[in-house]
A and B are shown apart, each in its own frame.
Chain A
Amino acid sequence: MPTLNIVEAINLALHQEMARDKRVIVLGEDVGHEGGVFRVTTGLQKKFGEKRVMDTPLAESGIVGTSFGMAVYGLRPVAEIQFDGFVYPAFDQIISHVARIRNRSRGRFTCPLVIRAPFCGGIRALEHHSESMEALYAHIPGMKVVIPATPYDAKGLLISAIRDPDPVIFFEPKRLYRAIKEDVPEKEYTIPIGKAKIVQEGNDITLIAWGAMVRECQRAAEQMQNKASCEIIDLRTMSPMDTETIVTSVQKTGHCVIVHEAPRSGGLGGEIIARINEKAILNLKAPIERVTGFDTTFPYYQNENNYLPNSSRIIQAIDKVMMF
């Protein structure tokens, strides 16, 4: 079994899906000849040609809008947006068309489109290259939002996203792109969208995170192992959210900390708390804590480490919840 990082795992998934289904095409800025600024699409144009792997003009609304047209016509486009901070020019297409067409055409037209974009901070990047705005997209009825945290999940989830009959936005934690390697089966496999993963079982407290924050939770849990047995949930899909896995875990542990890089106010942490309150409030032994980014613009890199949640802030939150 090959040992792959996230970039390689996604690349493999794209190769296999393109080989399997002629309707799958890849388009975006610099994705063809160069293979993308993070090299995620390396080799695809060579293998599948310029008709199926297209370098586009520099225009995100154009990329997503034409992908929408291709998808409703019968293709299965995988559009790459170069960075999280540059999805916004396409936001109108996403919210006004991509997410709505099935409903407004009463199912006559559908949009099986995947929009991939690197997301989150932690690489000392330029402004607009470190955004974690998953809540914006999860808030859009009709969109699915997926964020893998490991190479294995990245491959399986992307294949599911490509085969999904509905539009999926697929955020790739760029900080982890080459940071973790693990065994990734060569053969095709899928991981269901809408299903969270229990990364580590535990009895005392539930830690919920996604993307690069899963690893921070693992670090915190390891340091806390003599004090608290942590159950870690990698949410993997922001929308539709796996309420059941969350609630079942909190019913067992009675304690919960939610970690996200995104700004605190209006972040998905609040949504998760609401779901726990609706289904398991009487199981809680302490108020739920959130460890999050701040309600500020993502800072330039001098302040990046002060902005990003880390294991020490997570440990402080675990302590607070456990000692309530």
Chain B
Amino acid sequence: MIEHFNPLEGKFLQVLDKGGHVYKILEPKLSTNDLKKIYETMVLTRMADDKALKLQRSGRMGTFAQVLGQEAQVAVGLAMKKEDWFFPSFRELGILLVRGSPLEKFYLTFMGCEEGNRTPKDINNFPVCVPVGSQTVHAVGAAMAAKIKRDKVVTVVAFGDGGTSEGDFHEAMNFAGVFKAPCVFFCQNNQWAISTPRSIQTAAKTIAQKAIAYGFQGIQIDGNDPLAIYVATKEAVEHARQGKGPTLIESLTYRIGPHTTADDPTLYRTEKEVKYWQERDPIKRFKIYLQKKGLWTKKYEDNLIKKCTKQIEDAVAKAEKIAAATKPEDMFRYMYEKMTPVLQEQLEYLHESLGEKEA
């Protein structure tokens, strides 16, 4: 399918349009469970995000980047296998959740606690990556390692439109092409990098077409359409697993909220533009799709919201408890496998200066 969507010919993949109509020939055969999982994780992501915003506004959490509007991303996680590896940037709560990262980890990271980055052992989700674009090379390296070890494992890396300007992105693409790494580049082109529009990131018409210059396939898709994301990612992941090399997916979406809680988007974009994209909301269209399939009812929604509310409350309570138990030694414990004598001395000094005995 991907080869029929040459970005240089202006091709663009959409499976579910904004009104919830599906293009039958492209429709993936997803089980009821999977369809519900997409919807439920999108709703959870939006609600968790909204809770985080409230926590941030009331001083219980620090700065963070909202997903709002980009929830269709959860379909990436569904297209991957459990043993695959995911390398996020910082706006991928949905993918992390659908791949099993505990929700309290998200809150913990943005409550200023490194414990948020401690992914459970059996989940191959890398921690949030703040230096823009730098994670792309890591995903390629991990994919190269999987290939060397003959594991049938694929890596997926997420990054923004801004991320495609960093040198690391280009080096990652080049390595991936040269070594035919089993890696999928998932670009969330939400059209803004803080106040900088996409047009300032690249003079190219699409981001997807950059893949062609590196010798592999690229596709531009509707990033507010969970089915398009699923179809494209699934094919790219299996393509990589079969040893056919990398794919770049440009997922065209829009960040409805501010860049982070520290940002004021009214300085650089119009209400009209935001409204245009709100009408293309991923959750809204997927709800219609499920409803048509007889999978969505008012009762289902009410139960879902109740379930998510409880899950979020529990996660926040757990996170706040762990964050409150942060200790000075947490800074020192993980610097090396074994604490060096100098660090030991510094830690003792810190305890002393705080008037504490070392625990």
List residues of A whose CB falls within 8 A of some B CB: 29-30, 33-35, 37, 55-62, 85-86, 88-89, 124-129, 264-265, 294-297, 299-304, 306-307, 312-313, 316
Contacts and interface: CB of A to CB of B under 8 A. Distances in A.
A34 to B, nearest CB: 4
Contact of A303 (B163, B195, B330, B346): B330
A190 B257 CA distance: 42
A29 B335 contact: no
B331 A296 contact: yes
A61 B130 contact: no
Nearest to B166: A59
Contacts of B112: 124, 300-304
Contacts of B119: none
Contact of B165 (A62, A125, A300): A62
A29 B162 CA distance: 10
B328 interface: yes
Given A34-B195, A89-B166, A312 B343 contact: no
Given A56-B200, A57-B200, A302-B326, A124 B62 contact: yes
B178 to A, nearest CB: 21
Interface of B: 62-64, 109-114, 130-134, 162-163, 165-168, 193-196, 200-202, 262-263, 267-268, 323, 326, 328, 330-332, 335, 340, 342-343, 346-347, 350, 353-354
B268 A33 contact: yes
A72 B114 CA distance: 43
A294 B332 contact: yes
Contact of A57 (B109, B202, B268): B202
A7 to B, nearest CB: 14
14 contacts: A29-B194, A33-B268, A57-B165, A61-B166, A61-B167, A86-B131, A89-B166, A89-B168, A126-B62, A126-B63, A265-B342, A295-B343, A300-B109, A304-B112
B264 to A, nearest CB: 8
B353 A55 contact: no
B75 to A, nearest CB: 26
A125 B63 contact: yes
Contacts of B335: 295-297
A129 B63 CA distance: 11
A127 B62 CA distance: 11
B130 A294 contact: no
A25 B167 CA distance: 23
Q: Which 4 A-B pairs have the closest CB atoms?
A: A301-B112, A34-B195, A57-B165, A58-B162
Contacts of A296: 331-332, 335, 343
Contacts of A264: 346
Contacts of A126: 62-64, 110, 130
Contacts of A295: 335, 340, 342-343, 346
Given A55-B200, A58-B163, A299-B331, 12 more contacts: A34-B194, A34-B195, A57-B196, A58-B132, A61-B166, A62-B165, A124-B62, A300-B113, A301-B112, A302-B323, A303-B331, A313-B353
A182 B263 CA distance: 27
B194 A30 contact: yes
A315 to B, nearest CB: 10
B281 to A, nearest CB: 26
Nearest to A291: B353
Contacts of A307: 331
B115 to A, nearest CB: 9
A58 B131 contact: no
A33 B112 CA distance: 31
Contact of A30 (B134, B195, B354): B195
Given A58-B162, A128-B130, A302-B326, A312 B353 contact: yes
Nearest to B332: A296
A61 to B, nearest CB: 5
A37 B194 contact: yes
Contacts of A55: 195-196, 200
Nearest to B354: A306
A85 B62 CA distance: 18
A32 B226 CA distance: 35
Contacts of B193: 29, 58
A323 B168 CA distance: 53
Nearest to A58: B162
Contacts of A304: 112
B266 to A, nearest CB: 11
B343 A294 contact: yes
Given A57-B165, A59-B167, A86-B131, A30 B196 contact: yes
A33 B266 CA distance: 12
B62 to A, nearest CB: 5
A302 B342 CA distance: 23
A33 B195 contact: yes
A131 B347 CA distance: 20
A124 B350 CA distance: 20
A289 B64 CA distance: 38
Contacts of A61: 166-167
A118 to B, nearest CB: 12
A294 B347 CA distance: 8
Interface-centre pick from B64, B196, B347 (highest chain A CB count, 10 A):
B196
A316 B349 CA distance: 11
Contacts of B267: 33-35
Contacts of A299: 114, 330-331
Nearest to B59: A124
A204 B267 CA distance: 52
Nearest to A315: B353
A60 B162 CA distance: 12
A290 to B, nearest CB: 11
Contacts of A60: 166
A34 B258 CA distance: 13
B131 A306 contact: no
A145 B114 CA distance: 31
A34 B268 contact: yes
Contacts of B64: 126
